[in-house]
Amino acid sequence: MTVLAAHRNHPTYWAFILHRLSGLGLALFLPMHLYVLSMAIGDGARLDAFLDWTEQPLVKVAEVGLVVLLALHMAGGLRLLAIEFLPWRDSQKTFAAFAGSFAVGVGVLYLLNVV
């Protein structure tokens, strides 16, 4: 049981978990995004009302979270590509740390542009 707990405390395990959770979050967001796009095609007045609603601070915070999820998923995917196509090294922790740092950095830059 100790080996299993140590395995799950490894940074690359957490990178794996964050990549899967960010993908799940993006997949849950996609139907809502497609619904809003359908409003743009079908009902301009409803779209305008929805866009007015999105000016609320809580929606802006959720938008930043969505950008962080997207950046985290992209960085995690790049890390997986590096694992698949580059020779294995002990620096896999560095790839995981870079993926997380990249995602947070993109979120901060986005937040600075939104505010």
Q: How does DSSP classify residue 83?
A: H
C-beta of residue 60 within 8 angstroms of C-beta of residue 107: no
User: Which has more confidence, 84 or 6?
Assistant: 84
Distance (Å, rounded) from C-alpha 11 to C-alpha 9? 7
Which token pair is 58? Answer: 């809580």
Domain that holds residue 17: 12-27+55-114
Q: Is residue 36 one of the residues assigned to a domain?
A: no
Q: Tell me the torsion sign for CA atoms 101, 107, 113, 115.
A: negative
Instruction: Please give the pLDDT value at position 52.
Output: 93
| Average pLDDT score, the chain | 83
Per the structure, the count of domains in the chain is 1
Q: Tell me the torsion sign for CA atoms 93, 97, 100, 102.
A: negative
Q: What is the pLDDT of residues 75-97, one digit of tens each?
A: 888 888 877 787 767 676 777 77
Closest C-alpha among 111, 36, 11, 22 to residue 72: 22
C-beta of residue 73 within 8 angstroms of C-beta of residue 26: yes
pLDDT for 66 beyond 80? yes
pLDDT band for position 115 (cuts 50, 70, 90):
low
pLDDT band for position 58 (cuts 50, 70, 90):
very high
pLDDT band for position 56 (cuts 50, 70, 90):
very high
Instruction: Please give the pLDDT value at position 49.
Output: 92
**Predicted TM-score (pTM) of this structure:** 0.67
